[in-house]
Homo-oligomer: A and B are copies of this chain.
Amino acid sequence: MEDCLATLRFSDDGLTDGLEEAMRYSLLAGGKRVRPVLALATARALGREATEVLPIAAAIELIHTYSLIHDDLPAMDDDDLRRGRPTCHKKFGEDVAILAGDALYAEAFRLVLTRQQAEPAHLRDALAHLAGATGVNGMVGGQWLDVAARDVDLRELHALKTGRLIAASIESVLLLSGRDAEPWQPYCSELGVLFQIVDDILDVTGTDAALGKHPGSDERHGKRTYVSEFGLGGARTMARVSHGKARAALAAAAPDGAPELSQITDFIFTRSS
């Protein structure tokens, strides 16, 4: 995945290479690449080659990177560091960071629309799902719930903010392959829940380098997390229950087995970074 992301160029004629530099600075800052890895593993679970879905897998990581850049902005979480390096706006200025995020989202769609091989009708369905998962009823809506600090259920907030893009990493590949995503929905949404619970635990117990942000960052921001709501022990119990549910839902969705998705599900539960 790293090789694929590293080869991506966005500026056609070099005129906007400075904008591309800011986009690539954040895109290539490392990270676990959970979302594209899920997309590739889904292709394999369907008997396809992982390489066949590289464009949409990369596009999902572009979208994730855009969300991190905008979340870090002074008007949002106001974070100076991410993965031990200055955040995009600290490095390039706030104006360039806003535009780098905007551009990553546009280029994610362009990448899929120009490079992803698929039946056009399936491509449309996959992209419609991805647009929905990242708009008002998905990622951006969840971020709005977070900053607007309304009296909203924590699971509901994270289902939108984090869960829908995690789920879409799997669902968009199913749709792209002309498959019904419905039987996979319980697995996809549970995986999003599991990911967020573990993320909240790691915010308290993890290290800066591993987390990609300051430990206790969410706590410092006064954010409501699974740990702040249920305590560290409570959150760990919830993670264990969620992991079991996710494994069971995966077994129901893929009765013939999906070894790579099983492994990633376990990794999301047990990861210490």
Contact = CB atoms under 8 A, between A and B. Distances in A.
Interface string A135-152: 111101101110110101
Interface of A: 10-13, 15-16, 18-20, 23, 70, 73, 75-76, 93-96, 98-99, 101-103, 105-107, 109-110, 113-114, 119-121, 123-124, 127-128, 131-132, 134-138, 140-141, 143-145, 147-148, 150, 152, 156, 160
A235 to B, nearest CB: 24
A18 B152 CA distance: 13
Q: How many copies does the complex hold?
A: 2
Main secondary structure of the interface of A (DSSP, over half): helix
Contacts of A152: 15
Contacts of A103: 135-136, 140-141, 144
B156 A136 contact: no
Contact of A96 (B135, B137, B148): B148
Contacts of A12: 136-137
Contact of A19 (B95, B98, B144): B144
A140 B15 contact: no
B113 A127 contact: yes
Contact of A102 (B10, B140, B156): B140
B109 A18 contact: no
A23 B135 CA distance: 12
Contact of A145 (B15, B75, B132): B15
18 contacts: A11-B141, A15-B137, A15-B160, A16-B136, A16-B145, A16-B160, A18-B150, A23-B136, A70-B98, A76-B98, A99-B140, A102-B140, A106-B140, A107-B135, A109-B131, A110-B135, A120-B124, A123-B124
